[in-house]
Amino acid sequence: MLQCSMRISAAGLAFLVTAAMSSSAVAAVPGAPVGPGTLTGAEKPLVIAHRGAAQHAPENTLAAVDAAHRRGLVWVENDVQRTKDGKLVVIHDTTLSRTTDAEKVFPGRAPWRVGDFTRAEIARLDAGSWFGKRFKGERVPTLAGYLHRLDRNDQRLLLEIKAPKRYPGIEAQIVRELRAHGWLDRAHVRSRLVIQSFCVACIKTVHELVPQVRTGILGEPGVDKLARYARFTDQINPRMSAVSSRWVEAVHRLRGAHGRPLEIYAWDAGKDGSARGASMRRIEGVIA
């Protein structure tokens, strides 16, 4: 996601976790059995663990995936980028400074961009100590390793293509990686995978490459753009504070690429009051 802090109140997170654990049918497939536009305010929105359970473990690590799993969170969101030698890794920032010890290990390599380091170099970095001592030695995972852990935990993935302009062709590479690890079979495509990005052209490319895969566009596009985007996407995923009832109604009036009404999964919920507001706004889920 954007360089934002997905902080949410303890009460809000407790509400969302309770919702996820008490509605297993909803957690299995976004938008089902409760369809877009049908939330009444009494029903609970789906919670998707932002960068894993990032309040309990270092973000975008396997420890965060496991922390989400222990808390009953079925869906996990991550960010995917590419190394200098063409390997796909799971990390949010386009630089390594904030969530690893890259500045210490490679002091002469400023500004420590992900794409300037090989996979082997990134594998040397500690991606856990910044969060807490008990996570010392946690590594930046490859996408392959991340997919394997999700399969082991029987979890689902909302995958964000991060900063795609830095990595030409990354859409096709992600598709190849997903296929190589079994994530384009019928079971995964039907209920365990969504690919999203702020880059509209990238999502259109993904749809052209694998039209069976559900996709989402991040941000708050104008109402005049929604019909065009609906041809190749299934979700419009905005910042919570940018959502208005009129905009939500406009999104829900349209059917997406797979014939179902467009869904909305809002992020940055902590900046917009309680998580309960998501259901009051008739939003299907929250990335938190």
Active site residue ranges = 50, 92
158 vs 43: CA distance, rounded Å: 22
- CB-CB contact of 90 with 150 (8 Å): no
Closest CA to 75 of 139, 42, 32: 32
Torsion of CA 28, 272, 59, 77, to 10 degrees: 30
240 vs 277: CA distance, rounded Å: 9
- C-alpha distances in angstroms, 242 versus 12, 95, 270? 19, 27, 13
What is the token pair recorded at 153?
Answer: 């935990």
Q: Which residues pair with 77 in a beta bridge?
A: 50, 158
Encode 200-229: b = buried (16+ Cβ within 10 Å), e = exposed: bebbbbbbeebeebbbbbbebbeeeebeeb
Query: Which phi and psi angles does 77 have, rounded to 5°?
Result: -105, 140
251 vs 266: CA distance, rounded Å: 13
245 vs 268: CA distance, rounded Å: 17
- CB-CB contact of 142 with 173 (8 Å): no
3-class SS of residue 235: strand
Give the distance between the most distant pair of CA atoms in the chain: 56
